[in-house]
Each structure stands twice: as C-alpha cells, then as structure tokens.
C-alpha cells in the first residue's frame, strides 16, 4: 500500500470529493463519464450509482459478468452502512489486524470491503448515495471512481 492509500489520504479524499448538489442528472453525468472512460480503455466493468436507495444509473461494459453486479451490491452495502469508501474500510480492517467481516460480524454474502465503492457526499448534508465500480483490481476500481467524481465535481463548478 502506498501513501495515497493510507487511511488519512482516503479520509482526506472523502472530505474533498463532495458534490454541491446531486440529482438524477448529475448521476447520469457521473455514470456517463465513468462509462466513456471505461469504453475508451476497453475496461470490463459494471457501474452503479444510487441515491437514497434508488438506482439512478447502471451499465455493464463488454467483458463484465453477472458476478460484477454481485460485487457492486456487496460493496454498496459497505458504503451505505459505514459512509466510507469500501477501500477505506478494507484498509482500516487490515491496519487493525482483524478481518473486516469478523470485526463487524457481517456476512460475506452481503458485504465486500474491496475498493470500488465510494460515498456520494453532498456538501453540508453528508452521505446521500453511492457510486460503485466492479471488474478491475480493487485499487484501479477505486481510482476510476474517485478520478471520475473529481472530474464531474469540477465540471459542476464551472
């Protein structure tokens, strides 16, 4: 793990990446951004964006499998429960020396602390949804999500 994946760096990233507003249109913009990046690089991923439990965007690119949707469901559950990225929860469990599922008494069928799930934070409000990618190694899933969130927030600021 490098410094950019330390708990402090991951927490700072969550604090930085907050939307000024988050509507179905913004979800579509974010999902489309991730989709276009993945398509350009022929990445075999699935993407899901939800707000308040409602799925606003879902896409599976060539090479993605039904299993990616299951990984998305399990990563989303982690983000919804803890309001942290699924990578943050994975790194935290690793640093505490106790497996994530054991630490919280959770089921492997329902939760996956693997990178790719990220909270949608609304400024001055908190966590209102999730954006999740599955199909790449966990650090790449996480990076694709956070770089895309950063780009869309910058677009909204214009």
DSSP letter, residue 4: G
Q: What is the pLDDT of residues 100-129, one digit of tens each?
A: 999 999 999 999 999 999 999 999 999 999
The answer for residues whose C-beta is within 8 angstroms of residue 58's C-beta and 6 or more apart is 31, 46, 47, 48, 49
pTM for the model stands at 0.95
**Residue 1 predicted with pLDDT over 70:** no
The answer to whether residues 34 and 64 touch, using CB atoms and an 8 Å cutoff, is no
pLDDT band at 4 (very low <50, low <70, confident <90, very high): low
User: What is the reported pLDDT for 158?
Assistant: 86
Residue 16 predicted with pLDDT over 70: yes
The DSSP call for residue 75 is H
Q: Which domain holds residue 47?
A: 3-157
* CATH number of the domain enclosing 118: 3.30.450.150
Neighbours of 109 (CB within 10 A): 9
Sheet (strand 18-19) strand order = 18-19, 117-122, 126-134, 46-51, 54-60
Q: How many domains does the chain contain in total?
A: 1
């Amino acid at each position: 793990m490098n410094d950019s994946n330390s708990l402090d760096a991951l927490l700072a990233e969550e604090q930085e990446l907050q939307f000024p507003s988050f509507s179905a249109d913004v979800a579509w913009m974010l999902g489309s951004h991730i989709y276009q990046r993945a398509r350009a690089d022929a990445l075999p991923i699935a993407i899901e964006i939800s707000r308040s439990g409602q799925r606003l965007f879902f896409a599976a690119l060539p090479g993605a499998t039904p299993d990616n949707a299951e990984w998305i469901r399990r990563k989303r559950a982690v983000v919804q429960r803890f309001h942290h990225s699924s990578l943050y929860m994975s790194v935290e469990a690793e640093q505490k020396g106790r497996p994530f599922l054991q630490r919280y008494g959770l089921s492997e069928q329902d939760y996956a602390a693997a990178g790719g799930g990220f909270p949608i934070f609304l400024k001055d409000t908190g966590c209102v949804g999730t954006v999740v990618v599955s199909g790449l190694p966990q650090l790449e899933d996480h990076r694709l999500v956070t770089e895309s969130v950063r780009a869309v927030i910058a677009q909204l600021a214009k």
